[in-house]
């Protein structure tokens, strides 16, 4: 079981996909962190040992968020913010989540591919 925190830009229906796969999921909005800056959201993820799932491409920059990689970041990169597409992309990535550690890494999950950057190369 993995522990995830969904950013406010991820549709709530995506939480269902992750929960149905047996993961522990909460959202930024559940914790009243909506509108909080990136550092506050990442700090909460680190304190709770949760991997952030977000559509915010700013999180894909390892240099900017190196301090937060300990808990892991999953950036869902889609051509349009469509709830069904986001759910489908996450659903296709689920087997990868089971076989690779999420912590110490940034995942870029796109339609048709998953790229993983691990801390230290």
> Can you tell me the mean pLDDT for 9-38?
94
Confidence of residue 5 (pLDDT cuts 50, 70, 90): very high
Confidence of residue 16 (pLDDT cuts 50, 70, 90): very high
Per-residue model confidence (pLDDT) at position 67: 57
Q: In what order do the strands lie in the sheet with 51-54?
A: 24-27, 3-6, 51-54, 73-76, 105-110, 113-118
Model confidence, pTM: 0.93
Average pLDDT of the residues of the chain? 90
The H or E element containing residue 51 is: strand 51-54
Instruction: Give the start-to-end residue ranges of the domains of the chain.
Output: 3-118
Give the up-direction half-sphere exposure of residue 73: CA atoms within 13 A in the CB hemisphere.
31
What's the rounded Cα separation, in Å, for the pair 26 and 47? 14
What's the rounded Cα separation, in Å, for the pair 107 and 28? 19
Q: How far is CA 16 from CA 64, 101, 115, in A?
A: 30, 21, 23
Query: Is the domain 3-118 a CATH 2.60.120 member?
Result: no
| DSSP per position, 34-74 | TT--HHHHHHHHHHHT-EEEE--GGGG-TTTSGGGGGG-EE
> Can you tell me the mean pLDDT for 94-120?
90
Kindly report, residue by residue over 48-103, the tens digit of the pLDDT: 999 999 999 988 876 765 655 678 999 999 999 999 999 999 999 999 998 888 98
């Amino acid at each position: 079981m993995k522990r995830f925190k969904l950013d406010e830009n991820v549709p709530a229906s995506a939480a269902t996909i992750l929960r149905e796969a047996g993961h522990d999921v909460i959202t930024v909005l559940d914790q009243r962190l909506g509108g909080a800056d990136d550092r506050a959201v990442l700090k909460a993820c680190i304190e709770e040992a949760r991997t952030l799932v977000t559509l915010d491409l700013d999180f894909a920059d390892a240099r900017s968020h190196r301090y937060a990689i300990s808990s892991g970041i999953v950036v869902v990169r889609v051509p349009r913010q469509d709830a069904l597409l986001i759910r489908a992309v996450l659903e296709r990535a689920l087997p990868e989540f089971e076989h690779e550690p999420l912590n110490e890494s940034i995942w870029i999950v796109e339609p048709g591919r998953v790229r993983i950057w691990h801390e230290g190369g």
